[in-house]
Amino acid sequence: MIDLETAKKLAVEFLQSKNCRSNDDHLVILEEHTVEKEYGWIFFYDWKYWLETRDYRYKALGNVPIVVEKYDGSIHSLKILHSSMQENIKEYEAMRGKPDYDPLYFFLRAYMSDTDIGGFSTSKDAIIYYLSYAKQSDVCEVLNLGRLCLQEKSFPWMKIGNLTQRSFQNPDTARKWLAELIQILELELGSIPLTGTLAKVRNQSTQ
């Protein structure tokens, strides 16, 4: 379990990793807006130049609060789904402890949809292209989330169908399709020389 100061340091490090400005401007935590919950802290932030000048050229756009969990120090983005921040916090609390399948859903929508980018003729072609440039951490996340999703009792088969523009007859056909897709991803992953994190994922897949 961590305290507020440790949580703040973790939040600052996270924001520093997201800094995309070339000058000495950087993201600053708005300590007066920090919300403490039983499970951790919700931090709000903005750019240093905006706070000093109030010049809208430096105002952050689309920045979402981050949550630092008290029990393990994990960091999560607070999804902005409602106009009310309290409703967004309630939404996060309702989903705590459940896997966030958004990275998997993005992968499926971007590479497995017949009507989206790429226009790949087969799933294998799409995966080969994906592996040619994907970050190691992204591939690990997609694989792990795919495995978790396959184990879900309430399998999101209709959502997967909508994302990929496929008409599945029932959850079993969608689950079979996703299982085959994950298998192809694992096989293609095993056909290229890997080091570090991806090598660990390959080893996990063969155990």
Judge whether 67 and 41 are in contact, CB under 8 Å. yes
For 34-54, the pLDDT digits (tens) are 999 999 999 999 999 999 999
Query: Average pLDDT, stretch 3-28?
Result: 87
Letter for the amino acid at 123?
S
Q: DSSP class of residue 42? A: E
Judge whether 70 and 40 are in contact, CB under 8 Å. yes
Letter for the amino acid at 192?
I
Q: What's the confidence (pLDDT) of residue 6?
A: 96
What's the rounded Cα separation, in Å, for the pair 68 and 96?
12
Would the pLDDT of 31 be above 90?
yes
pTM (2 d.p.): 0.58
Three-state secondary-structure class, residue 66: strand
Query: Average pLDDT, stretch 73-84?
Result: 87
What's the rounded Cα separation, in Å, for the pair 120 and 114?
8
Half-sphere exposure of 22 (CA within 13 A, CB side): 0
Would the pLDDT of 194 be above 60?
no
Provide the CA 161 distance to its chain's centre, in angstroms.
20
Q: What's the confidence (pLDDT) of residue 199?
A: 45
For 137-162, the pLDDT digits (tens) are 788 889 999 999 999 999 999 999 99
For 55-65, the pLDDT digits (tens) are 988 887 778 99
What's the rounded Cα separation, in Å, for the pair 43 and 31?
7
What's the rounded Cα separation, in Å, for the pair 24 and 22?
7
How many helices and strands (H and E) does the chain possess? 9, 6
Judge whether 179 and 121 are in contact, CB under 8 Å. no
Give the angle 69-72-75 at the CA atoms, nearest 5°: 45
What's the rounded Cα separation, in Å, for the pair 59 and 70?
29
